[in-house]
Amino acid sequence: MRLNAYLARAGVASRRKADDLIKAGRVAVNGRPGQLNTFVQQHDVVEVDGKRVEKQRLAYLLLNKPRDTVTTASDPQGRTTVVDLVPAATRVVPVGRLDVDTTGALLLTNDGELAHRLAHPRYGVEKTYVVEVEGEPTDATLEQLQAGVELDDGATAPAKARRLTKNVLELTIHEGRNRQVKRMLEAVGHPVTRLHRSEYAGLDVAGLEPGEWRELTRDEVERLRHGS
* Cα dihedral value 138, 142, 144, 149, nearest 10: 120
Tens digits of residue pLDDT in 49-83: 999 988 778 899 999 999 999 998 888 898 999 99
Domain end (from 36, 53, 70): 53
| Residues 138 and 192 reside in one and the same domain | yes
| Residues 114 and 208 reside in one and the same domain | yes
Query: Residue 73's pLDDT is what?
Result: 82
Residue 189 backbone zone (phi > 0: left; psi -120 to 50: alpha; other: beta): left
The active-site residue, picked from 19, 75, 84, 99, is 99
| Residues 69 and 95 reside in one and the same domain | yes
In this prediction, residue 203 has a pLDDT band, given cuts at 50, 70 and 90, of: very high
Backbone angles phi, psi at 50, to 5 degrees: 85, 0
Tens digits of residue pLDDT in 119-139: 877 788 999 999 999 999 999
Q: How many domains in the chain?
A: 3
Query: Residue 228's pLDDT is what?
Result: 55
| Domain ranges, residue 24 | 3-53
- Do the Cβ atoms of 75 and 106 come closer than 8 Å? no
| Residues 177 and 77 reside in one and the same domain | no
| Residues 195 and 208 reside in one and the same domain | no
| Residues 138 and 86 reside in one and the same domain | no
- Residue 213 sits in a domain whose CATH number is 3.30.70.580
Known active-site residue 44? no
- Other Cβ atoms less than 10 A from the Cβ of 172: the count is 14
Tens digits of residue pLDDT in 84-121: 999 877 778 899 899 999 999 999 998 877 888 888 77
Interatomic CA distance for residues 59 and 85, integer angstroms: 15
| Residues 214 and 172 reside in one and the same domain | no
Q: Which helix (H) or strand (E) segment is 21 a member of?
A: helix 15-23
